A and B are shown apart, each in its own frame.
Chain A
C-alpha cells in the first residue's frame, strides 16, 4: 500500500499540471446548452489532449498514446478531476474499441485507427444490440454473406449511440448461421460512409437523440475489415464488453463531481422554510451520502487501475465498477431533485441540466449491460456460482 507517487510518477503529474495550466480552455462550457457549440468545444479539447500527448496515457506510443502505465492513467484521471477539465470525447472509441484493437487488431488496423480515436477525429459507434438481441447479444441475426473479398450485410442494429455522428463502427454480424450461436459471429471495423447504411435517430426519454437504429441493405464490407478471425468474433465482442464495463467509468468521476458541486451550490442558494436548503438536516444527510458514495467510487477506480496495472486485462471485476457508477449516478440525480424541490421539474431551470441528468441516468443501468447482467457476471465469474439461465 503506497498511494504516494514515485519520482517518475511525480514528474508525470507535474508535467501534466503544467500542461493543463497552459492549455485548459479559457472559457469553460459546462453543459450542453448548445449541442453544436458543446460538441465543438469537446472536439477542440480532445485534439488539444492528443497534440499534447495526453489523450491515450496507457496506450502504446507508436499509435499516438503516451506509453505509460495504468498508474499514470489513474493519476491522469485524478488531475483531470482536480482541474475540473472538460470530459473527453469519443468514449466508445477510447473506452472500448481502442483497447479491443490494441488487444486483437492487426498492425495495420492499429496504425490506421488508433491515432484518430485519440485525436477525436474518428468517433466510433458500437453496433452490437439488435431488436431481438439485447442482453443476449450473441443471438444476433444481422447476416453477412461472403461475396468474393467482401461481406454483404443485411439486417438491423438498434440503440446505437452516436451512430449519427460516427465515422466508424465496430459491428458484429452472423457469418455462419449453421454454427452454435457464439461460434458463427464475426467482428468488423466498418466505415460509416459505406453505402448501404441507413441511420435513423431514436428519441430518448429525455427528448434528445443520442442513439439510433441502423439498417443495412446490401452493405459491402471488405474482408480486410475483419478484426480477429472470421467466425471468432464473439471473443472480440467479449474483449470489447469487458473493456466497456471496466473503462467507461474511469472518466466519469470528473463529471459526477461537477454535478455534486453544482448540487451543493444550488443547496446554498435556494431557500426553503426561511433558510438555505443546505441547512436542512435531511438534505445534509443526502448530500453527504452522494459525497461518500462518489468518493468511494473514486477510490475504487484508482484501485482497479492499480490492479489492472498488474493483470494487464480487465476481468469480471469491471462489472463491479459498472454496477457501482450506474446506480451511483441514479442516486445522485435523485438527490439533486430533492435539493431543488419544485424547481427540479423545470426543463429550463439551470439550463435544463437537472431534468436531463435525472432522465438520462435511467439509461445507465441498461446501457453497457444491464445491472441484472452485471450481477450475473459477478455471481458467476467472481464467485463461481452456476449459470442461472
Chain B
C-alpha cells in the first residue's frame, strides 16, 4: 500500500505544472475569461496533444489508458492554474460515450481534442438527482425526438457534441446530439466564474440519429451516475489545486507584507488562518486521492468515497478561499489580484455536481438508512 503518488504520477504532475506555468499564466486566464468562449486553440492543442482529454479512458477509445488518479493529477494542476476552457465538459462527454458507445467515431475525436463536448444534465429547477431529469424524449421508430430545456450546461458554448440526459415514457435515456442539429438553440448565461462558460439549451423537436442513442433506463442511469462521480472527483481535484495556490500565495504574502514594522506573518491571528488552510488542504488531499483510487480499484466504494470527498472539499475549499482573501487584506478584494480567479472558480466547483449539503444528504441515505 502506498498512499502517495507513484514516481510516474509525480512526473506527470510536474509536466502538467510546467506546461501550465508556461502556457497558462494568470494573464492568459484573464484574457480568455474576457472572451465569449474562454477557448484558445493553442492552449487546447497543448493539452489535447498530451492525451489528457482521455487520460483515464482505454486506448481503444483514443484514450491513453491510465486511471482516475492520473485524471485527478491533471485536474489538480488545472485547478492550480485556473485552466480556462472546455476541458471538463469534453472529458465528461467522452467518459459517458466510452461507457455507452465505445466505438462511436465522435469519441475518438473528443479524446484527441478534434471535437469539444458538453453534457446537458441540469434543467431550470437545478436539481442534481437523476429524478430531476424531465426533458422529454419521445420515442419514434427506434430513436427519439427531444423537446424541452436544459440549463447551467458547462462548456456548451464551445461544444460540437452534446450528450443529453432526457426522459422517455420508459425512463431515462442518454443521447448524443450535434450542437448544430436543427432545433438546438444554445444561449450563453453570464456566470460568476467567467473562465468557464455556462449556457441554457432549448430543444425544439430535435431528431436524434438512431446511432446516437447511447443508453436507456438502468444502463443510462448507471453510466450517468458513474460519470457524475468522475466529474465530482475532477471538481474536487481542481479545488485542491486551487486551495494549494491560494495557500502558497497567501503564505508568501504573509512573509513579505509589512505592517506595524513587522511582516504580517508574524501576527498570530494571521498564522492561525494559514494553519487552518494547511489542515483543510491536506485533508482534501487525502479525501481526493482516496476517492480517485476507489473509482478504479474499489468501485463498490466509489460512490461513498466521492460523496465524502465532494462534501468535505466543497466546504474546505470555500473556507480556504475566504481565508486567502482575508490574509491579503484590501488587495485580495481587488479585480487586479489573481485571487479573484481562484475564488470564483472555487465557488463554481462547489456547486458543480452538488454542494456539501447535497452530498451529505446522499451519504446519510447510503450509509445510515441502509445499515
Establish whether residues B266 and A386, one from each chain, have CB atoms under 8 Å apart when the complex forms: yes
A194 at the interface (CB under 8 A from B): no
Q: Which residues from A are CB-within-8-Å of B9?
A: 1
Q: How far is the CB of B66 from chain A (nearest CB, A)?
A: 11
Q: How far is the CB of B277 from chain A (nearest CB, A)?
A: 9
Of B1, B6, B266, B267, the most chain A CB neighbours within 10 A belong to B1
Given contacts A296-B286, A300-B283, A303-B286, contact A378 B312 (CB under 8 A): no
Q: Which of A100-108, A175-183, A287-295 contacts B (4 or more CB under 8 A)?
A: A287-295
Q: Which of A53-61, A216-224, A369-377 contacts B (4 or more CB under 8 A)?
A: A369-377
Cross-interface CB contact of B1 among A5, A324, A386, cutoff 8 Å: A5
Establish whether residues B267 and A388, one from each chain, have CB atoms under 8 Å apart when the complex forms: yes
Q: Which residues from A are CB-within-8-Å of B271?
A: 375-376, 379-380, 385, 388
B274-317: CB near A (< 8 Å → 1, else 0) gives 11101100110111011011100110000000001001100000
Q: Which residues from B are CB-within-8-Å of A388?
A: 266-268, 271
Given contacts A374-B275, A375-B272, contact A299 B266 (CB under 8 A): no
Cross-interface CB contact of B363 among A5, A288, A379, cutoff 8 Å: A288
B263 at the interface (CB under 8 A from A): yes
A80 at the interface (CB under 8 A from B): no
Cross-interface CB contact of B364 among A9, A287, A299, cutoff 8 Å: A287
Cross-interface CB contact of B274 among A3, A302, A379, A389, cutoff 8 Å: A379
Establish whether residues B272 and A292, one from each chain, have CB atoms under 8 Å apart when the complex forms: no
Establish whether residues A2 and B272, one from each chain, have CB atoms under 8 Å apart when the complex forms: no
Establish whether residues A384 and B255, one from each chain, have CB atoms under 8 Å apart when the complex forms: yes
Q: Which residues from B are CB-within-8-Å of A379?
A: 265, 271-272, 274-275
A132 at the interface (CB under 8 A from B): no
**Within A315-335, which residues are at the interface with B (CB < 8 Å)?**
317, 320, 323-324
Establish whether residues B290 and A3, one from each chain, have CB atoms under 8 Å apart when the complex forms: yes
Q: How far is the CB of A14 from chain B (nearest CB, A)?
A: 15
B177 at the interface (CB under 8 A from A): no
Establish whether residues B312 and A385, one from each chain, have CB atoms under 8 Å apart when the complex forms: no
Q: Which residues from B are CB-within-8-Å of A378?
A: 274-275, 278-279
Establish whether residues B6 and A1, one from each chain, have CB atoms under 8 Å apart when the complex forms: yes
Q: Which residues from B are CB-within-8-Å of A302?
A: 3, 286
B340-371: CB near A (< 8 Å → 1, else 0) gives 00000000000000000100110110011101
Establish whether residues A299 and B1, one from each chain, have CB atoms under 8 Å apart when the complex forms: no
Q: Does more than half of chain A's interface fall in helix, strand or loop, or is it mixed?
A: helix
Establish whether residues B279 and A324, one from each chain, have CB atoms under 8 Å apart when the complex forms: yes
A4 at the interface (CB under 8 A from B): yes
A17 at the interface (CB under 8 A from B): no
Q: How far is the CB of A74 from chain B (nearest CB, A)?
A: 7
Measured in the bound complex, the distance between the Cα atoms of B268 and A302 in whole Å is 30
Cross-interface CB contact of B361 among A285, A307, A374, cutoff 8 Å: A285
Establish whether residues B2 and A1, one from each chain, have CB atoms under 8 Å apart when the complex forms: yes
Cross-interface CB contact of B287 among A1, A299, A306, A310, cutoff 8 Å: A299
Establish whether residues A320 and B278, one from each chain, have CB atoms under 8 Å apart when the complex forms: yes
Measured in the bound complex, the distance between the Cα atoms of B278 and A372 in whole Å is 14
Q: Which residues from B are CB-within-8-Å of A305?
A: 3
**Within A335-389, which residues are at the interface with B (CB < 8 Å)?**
372, 374-376, 378-380, 382-389
Measured in the bound complex, the distance between the Cα atoms of B271 and A61 in whole Å is 42
Q: Which residues from B are CB-within-8-Å of A289?
A: 360
Cross-interface CB contact of A382 among B1, B255, B266, B278, cutoff 8 Å: B278
A71 at the interface (CB under 8 A from B): yes
Cross-interface CB contact of A288 among B6, B251, B292, B364, cutoff 8 Å: B364
Given contacts A3-B1, A385-B271, contact A292 B251 (CB under 8 A): no
Interface bracket on B: 35 or more
Establish whether residues B283 and A324, one from each chain, have CB atoms under 8 Å apart when the complex forms: yes
Measured in the bound complex, the distance between the Cα atoms of B308 and A71 in whole Å is 23
Measured in the bound complex, the distance between the Cα atoms of B304 and A292 in whole Å is 10
Q: Which residues from A are CB-within-8-Å of B287?
A: 295-296, 299
B4 at the interface (CB under 8 A from A): yes
**Within B218-276, which residues are at the interface with A (CB < 8 Å)?**
251, 254-255, 263, 265-268, 271-272, 274-276
**Within B140-175, which residues are at the interface with A (CB < 8 Å)?**
none
Q: Which residues from A are CB-within-8-Å of B283?
A: 296, 299-300, 320, 324
B5 at the interface (CB under 8 A from A): yes
A214 at the interface (CB under 8 A from B): no
B69 at the interface (CB under 8 A from A): yes
Q: Which residues from A are CB-within-8-Å of B4?
A: 1, 303, 306-307, 310
Q: Which residues from B are CB-within-8-Å of A387?
A: 266
A96 at the interface (CB under 8 A from B): no
Establish whether residues B1 and A74, one from each chain, have CB atoms under 8 Å apart when the complex forms: yes
Establish whether residues B275 and A375, one from each chain, have CB atoms under 8 Å apart when the complex forms: yes
Q: How far is the CB of B265 from chain A (nearest CB, A)?
A: 4
Establish whether residues A4 and B1, one from each chain, have CB atoms under 8 Å apart when the complex forms: yes
Measured in the bound complex, the distance between the Cα atoms of B4 and A307 in whole Å is 8
Q: Which residues from B are CB-within-8-Å of A288?
A: 311, 360-361, 363-364
Q: Which residues from A are CB-within-8-Å of B363?
A: 288, 291-292
A1-22: CB near B (< 8 Å → 1, else 0) gives 1111110010000000000000
Q: Give me the interface of A with B, judged by CB distance under 8 Å.
A: 1-6, 9, 71, 74-75, 264, 278, 281, 284-285, 287-289, 291-293, 295-296, 299-300, 302-303, 305-307, 310, 317, 320, 323-324, 372, 374-376, 378-380, 382-389
- A selection of 19 A-B contacts at a CB cut-off of 8 Å is A1-B3, A1-B9, A1-B69, A3-B297, A287-B364, A287-B368, A292-B308, A295-B308, A300-B282, A302-B3, A323-B279, A372-B268, A378-B279, A379-B272, A384-B251, A385-B265, A385-B266, A385-B271, A386-B265
Beyond A303-B4, A383-B275, 5 additional contacts (C-beta under 8 Å) are A2-B2, A278-B369, A291-B363, A303-B286, A388-B266
Q: Give me the interface of B with A, judged by CB distance under 8 Å.
A: 1-6, 9, 69, 251, 254-255, 263, 265-268, 271-272, 274-276, 278-279, 282-283, 285-287, 289-290, 292-294, 297-298, 308, 311-312, 357, 360-361, 363-364, 367-369, 371
